[in-house]
Structure 1
Amino acid sequence: MPGENIFLFVPNLIGTRFGAMLDMLTDRCSTMCLLVNLALLYPRATLLFQLSMSLDVASHWLHLHSSVVRGSESHKLIDLSGNPVLRIYYTSRPALFTLCAGNELFYCLLYLFHFSEGPLVGSVGLFRVGLWITAPVAVLKSLISVVHLVTAARNMAALDAADRARKK
């Protein structure tokens, strides 16, 4: 591809390895930027935001790396006989969308809530109501990140064990 401008392929990024990597990096970086701002706005919760960033990056990186080492064409293509939580996460578009969008919405609402309760819904601010609704989604998304991390670590350990066995 020397001499070609990869950005001319923008409409064709979906379904490509480059597009998958760009999607992953964009998601991780934008979430980290939002979490850094939240840590500044909510200093007492800084450690939680740092843990969230670390878990997000580590789990996705190790999952992506183990997928590449296993020879998978995409980090979203998983062994359907594997972890049932990840199987649902990656095979159900509504589940994936709800968890990802709900998690990001939670962080966005935390940002907005710092400045305002939002318009009233009855006697409660809209941003507060949104936080109540999206907080469980954000917690569930974090738990899935832990599952990602553990599953990917086990996959890498199994690959290492298989490599050692082949060398004997």
Structure 2
Amino acid sequence: MAQENVFLFAPNLIGYIRVILGLLSFYLMPSSPWPAVSCYLLSFLLDEVDGSVARAMDQCSRFGAMLDMLTDRCATMCLLVNLSLLYPSYTFLFQLSMCLDISGHWLYMHSSSIKGSTSHKTIDLSGNPVLRVYYTSWTFLCVMCYGNELFFCLLYLLHHLQEPAAWFYWLLALCGIICLLKTFINLMHLVTAAQDIAALDAADREKRQ
């Protein structure tokens, strides 16, 4: 059999479309808020599509998982950079959010890889209960992820809207609460991954003694 080209797997092709939509969104952000947000949210919604396609076509891959993770993290980071320009007095909070998001997910995915997990979403049921719920409840995962991204998008739109309706502020407040919960989960990623890697280090040192 001819060797399969992982780069051309259907879910990875969708991943490339997500990257293009993300880049287009960032390009439009300085001048076209609504098209920028539309491209951003469409890219984020396709995250669920590529995962479903990967499972349906049996085309899950390490490259696809990494592409998916990097696209999510870089997209959120670039949006937060834009928000730092729009709300300079809150720059430190946006920087803190970026640090927790990137470091937590990167370290967690790295720990999953060195433990031999097929996916960073494969959770040991005896592990962290918060992350167990986060990765085993599709509804909870979607609410956390979409609510977090929507909060940042609403903050971006708030800067460009003249007189937002009352519902806009209510939705912003609700998504703000979700964003705080998601930040706590990012911290759990960081702590859990650090503990896992430290345990692996301790086990390796014990074997050498």
Question: What is the TM-score when the length of structure 2 is the normalising length?
Answer: 0.73
CA RMSD between the two structures: 1.9
**Structure 1 moving runs of 4+ over 6 Å:** none
How far residue 6 of structure 1 moved from its aligned partner, in angstroms, is 4.1
Instruction: Give secondary structure in 1 for the equivalent of 2:9.
Output: helix
> Which amino acid is 2:105 matched to?
H
1:76 to 1:118, Cα distance in 2 relative to 1, 3 A: farther
- Matched with 2:168 is 127
Instruction: Give secondary structure in 2 for the equivalent of 1:73.
Output: coil
How far residue 18 of structure 1 moved from its aligned partner, in angstroms, is 1.5
How far residue 39 of structure 1 moved from its aligned partner, in angstroms, is 0.3
> Quick one: distance in 1 between partners of 2:6 and 2:184?
36
Query: Could you give the per-residue CA deviations for residues 60-113 of structure 1, whole angstroms, max 9, x where no partner exists?
Result: 000001001111111000111111001000100001110000000000000001
- Matched with 1:83 is 128
How far residue 17 of structure 1 moved from its aligned partner, in angstroms, is 1.4
1:69 corresponds to 2:114? yes
How far residue 11 of structure 1 moved from its aligned partner, in angstroms, is 3.9
Superposed counterparts of 1:139-158, under 5 Å? 139-158=180-199
> Quick one: distance in 2 between partners of 1:24 and 1:100?
13
Greater length-normalized contact order (CA 8 Å, ≥ 6 residues apart): 1
Give the paired residue count: 163
1:16 to 1:4, Cα distance in 2 relative to 1, 3 A: closer
Query: Could you give the per-residue CA deviations for residues 127-167 of structure 1, whole angstroms, max 9, x where no partner exists?
Result: 32211110110000000111110010000000000000001
- Matched with 1:23 is 68
Runs of 5+ in structure 1 lacking a partner? Answer: none
